[in-house]
Amino acid sequence: QSVLTQPPSASGTPGQRVTISCSGSSSNIGSNAVNWYQQLPGTAPKLLIYSNNQRPSGVPDRFSGSKSGTSASLAISGLQSEDEADYYCAAWDESLNGWVFGGGTKLTVL
Amino acid sequence: EVQLVESGGGLVQPGGSLRLSCAASGFTFSSYSMNWVRQAPGKGLEWVSYISSSSSTMYYADSVKGRFTISRDNAKNSLYLQMSSLRDEDTAVYYCAREHDEGGGTSMAHFDYWGQGTLVAVSS
């Protein structure tokens, strides 16, 4: 029952392109920037994409983000085994006066 | 190098209290808003609380409002989370996270650095 909705799982083979969706509402994604975090097994989350489509230094350009209306998506091209992780979208929610996260998407590289 | 190091986690009985700390280094702590985010075992991320750089503004998730108190000491480069009336469902790894504002306030911010987390287990 997360405020932002993500598919619980996604998968792809090495080299493929996968996308992960994130759906919200006018009080969060619709009016604020979307950020994406990657959490490798057993580690703390790491910033992957910020302000809808910006990559922090050190993040490969295989990762990209986009936003339209009250939805956002994360795309990973040239899938690699090390991309196997949990991915979370997040945004500030003006109605709740707090940060909201998606439930997370577990990406499996087949 | 930016570092955030949480401490203070442990096993506590339901109804008990615990104080978490987050020691910051490698940046001007007093210039940044900070947050606590938690993750229950096998579950997703849940935002817990926010505090502005000067402590003038605090926000809480509904699930902890009235039970948890966020605070900071800019002179000690430290962030705190005082947790009371703890419940089983508060069991989680608690992360502190630095909030970076892109100039548009919280609406354009993101968590650019995270600590390694500290585990809080609430059980009798």
* CB of B108 closer than 8 Å to CB of B95: no
Q: Work out the widest C-alpha separation in chain B, in whole angstroms.
A: 46
A99 has a chain B CB within 8 A of its CB: yes
Q: What is the interface size between A and B, counted as CB pairs within 8 Å?
A: 70
> What's the pLDDT band for B107 if we cut at 50, 70, 90?
confident
For residue range B44-91, list pLDDT tens digits in order. 999 999 999 999 999 999 999 999 999 999 999 999 999 999 999 999
> What's the pLDDT band for A83 if we cut at 50, 70, 90?
very high
Displacement of CA A106 from its chain's centroid (Å):
11
Q: Provide mean pLDDT across the span A78-107.
A: 97
* CB of A79 closer than 8 Å to CB of A14: yes
pLDDT of residue B104: 72
pLDDT of residue B102: 74
- Tell me what the pLDDT averaged over chain B comes to: 96
Q: Provide mean pLDDT across the span A88-106.
A: 97
A24 has a chain B CB within 8 A of its CB: no
A51 has a chain B CB within 8 A of its CB: yes
Q: Provide mean pLDDT across the span B106-113.
A: 92
* Residue in B with minimal Cα distance to A30: B107
pLDDT of residue B42: 96
